[in-house]
Amino acid sequence: MLMDEIELQHTLPGREASPCFERTVRLAVERAFKDLLETKNLYQKVDVDLNALPQALTAEGVDIARNGVEAYNREARLRPWAIETHHQGDNRATTGVMFNAGGISQPLGTPVEEMSLHFLVPSLRLNCPTCKDKTTFEALCSSRQSGFASPYPRTNDGKIEQVFTFFYRCVSCRAFLYTTLTHRRELRIQLCGFAPRRQLECRIKADKELRPIAEDACNAFLEGDIFGGFYHLRTFVEHHIRRRLKIPIGQQIRGDELTARYNSSLPEPLKAAIPSLSPVYDELSGHLHSRTGTPEDFTRIEQSINDHLAALRTLERYHVQDGPSANARIEQRRFD
């Protein structure tokens, strides 16, 4: 571990806490970036979890009581981060150059709090539009932090700030690229950019034709635009109803009339067993007009829509038709 960490960090302070301190903190940084870039969306934040640091230092024989845990946490908050990648270029002739390009040693006498802490940009599992599947993306060595004459890293209100740009390439097709922009403030990192826009898995199980609207709703919600999420959800409900009733999109019709027609078209057993879309549409309209509603409201409404769609899929799978014998046929299938 000592030699691996020395090779990665290029320079280590001469003390008993190193390289255990650097290794534990950088692994926590890497986990935080992986969590942020794989599971979060724009403008969401993740905190670097240092709960494992006291135990790791103690296991290496470091007397953490001498300096106190807070001193180590403070150091982790203050030290600038430097990018390293597993990828060292596609040309083997320049691999050594790429490895050493970011390995500038710290001048003698540099305070520990100002020494760069190097971390490996983690690989990610992301959807690749070219492969049409979830694949592994590696961070290219051209990924970078602030460049020459950049204002970062800087100290703002006594807290360090940095900006990082990661270039990710699909390891399967080796063609599709993602670029991410992240902002660091002490131990909190925020996703500020993802290009092209990454589509996280949509939670509404929609037909192919309506999936883009459902994805817009999900992404707006995940990006913190709750009112945009409500708008797209209501648009989804309206388009779903119009498709079922074969009502053209351009035909004007009141929302309450639209949902009333839809409800009357459903079999009685279905109407009695699943959430109606009428209160869903009305609640979404209310949130839009008054700019109210919470993330919990969005999740609850989204689940109601999902339950309704799941019941419709079951209905179509068994070809249940409306009529006085519909209940009997449903009961019969429970025993088949």
For 49-72, write each residue's pLDDT tens digit. Answer: 999 999 999 998 998 888 889 999
Instruction: Say how far apart CA 125 and CA 323 lie, in whole Å.
Output: 49
* Cα–Cα distance list, 72 to 25, 236, 314 (Å): 10, 51, 57
Instruction: Say how far apart CA 98 and CA 88 lie, in whole Å.
Output: 6
Query: What's this model's pTM, rounded to 2 decimal places?
Result: 0.73
For 82-99, write each residue's pLDDT tens digit. Answer: 999 988 877 766 666 665
Going from N- to C-terminal start, the domains of the chain cover: 2-195, 211-331
* 148 pLDDT above the threshold of 90: no
Instruction: Say how far apart CA 42 and CA 182 lie, in whole Å.
Output: 10
pLDDT of residue 329: 44
Please report which confidence band the pLDDT of residue 1 belongs to, taking 50, 70 and 90 as the band edges: low
Judge contact between 169 and 88, C-beta under 8 A.
no
pLDDT of residue 95: 60
Between 220 and 177, the more confident residue is 177
Please report which confidence band the pLDDT of residue 332 belongs to, taking 50, 70 and 90 as the band edges: very low
CA angle 76, 150, 101 (to 5 degrees): 75
The top-scoring range by mean pLDDT among 12-16, 141-145, 244-248, 325-329 is: 244-248
pLDDT of residue 94: 62
